[in-house]
Amino acid sequence: MPRVSVAAGARLHFGFQNLSLAHERLYGALGVGIDDPAVEVVAEPAEDVSVEMADHGAEPRSHGVADASTPDAPTPDAPTPDALADIRRYASDACSLLDVPGVSIDVRTTIPRHVGLGSGTQLALATVAAVARSYDGEPAVRDHAPRLGRGGRSGVGVAAFEDGGFVLDVGHPTSRFTTHRPETGEWTVPAVAARHPIPDDWRFLLVLPDAEPGRNGDDEDRSIRAAVERADPDVADRIAGIVTRRVLPAIVEGRADAFGEAVADVGRLNGAWYADEQGGVYRPPVGGIVASLSDAPAIYGAGQSSWGPAVYGVTDATHAAAALEAGEAALEAAGVDGTVRIVAGRNQGARIEPRRNR
């Protein structure tokens, strides 16, 4: 059987439509797929499970935009020991789910863990898709995601893996909410309510400050439950108006300025729900970075992706170089180190293809 390569981009998470138990549906996420950073794994059948870091010197890759408007083309994100451990766990779970003996996986690139870019979901889905295809099976990532512990609240990561683009999901019936996290696999991934391609000339500034990881695992579950139990339903009503009257028209009409302003407002309102959990509307040091970017003419709207510390800014190809400078200036003003890059939206799902050469 051929070796199989699976590559998938990260995602930006702008927030949820509702966290209040007073409304009929809970969550309902919106976000976009982006080209970079990305995960890429290469798999082939084996008698047991092995996961290794591929030789980066043999074939360097870049998943981002590299043109005159993006002076600093991104470079691959090398796998860390923690990322390799995650993939090893997902590979073992995937082999059990698919009832196959094992898999050998070379990890070429990964998405930084726990920074708000959806690394866990993309790693899990890339791994299960690679295992399935290496045995000539269908990836069926939406079906497998819950068994891998993914897609329990937001469906953006799964939908971005499937088809990319801008995604709005339907969330879950509020009646399903309990104070205890459901057992792994006892949920379905929220269906896609709306999906639209991201215009080709749009760009996203991505600022990754050197800061503590965002909430994840049990800490994330506790924080979400606490936020839900005290969420103001009026905030959800305001977000609903922004999504229907501003976000969706802007993406359909290709107006980056209107889209950026709208998703930034969604993020600020989400931050009001999380303020007690993360120390403010944005977690430190994101607030200062967002404030700096909001004053930059090249940035149409800025916010925190998921629990951060990743910060996004909406811009376009014409203003990409100025947006990059604004990102660097924002880090300097906040007094923190970090990285800045310009990335394009991703309007396709994960790339899954045979790979016969080593």
Structure tokens at 151: 């897609």
Provide the pLDDT for residue 113.
93
On whether the CB atoms of residues 86 and 123 are closer than 8 A, the answer is yes
Structure tokens at 149: 């512990």
Instruction: Express each pLDDT in 262-319 by its tens digit.
Output: 999 999 999 999 998 898 999 999 999 999 999 999 999 999 999 999 999 999 999 9
Residue that the structure tokens 């999380």 belong to: 274
Give the chain's domains with CATH numbers.
3-355 (3.30.230.120)
Structure tokens at 46: 């084996």
Query: How far, in Å, CA of 2 to CA of 249, rounded?
Result: 44
Query: Helix, strand, or coil here: 311?
Result: strand
- Reference 102, options 143, 131, 138; nearest CA is 131
> Low-confidence residues of the chain, pLDDT below 70?
1, 55-76, 179-185, 217, 355-358
Provide the pLDDT for residue 59.
39
Q: Say if pTM beats, i.e. exceeds, 0.85.
A: yes
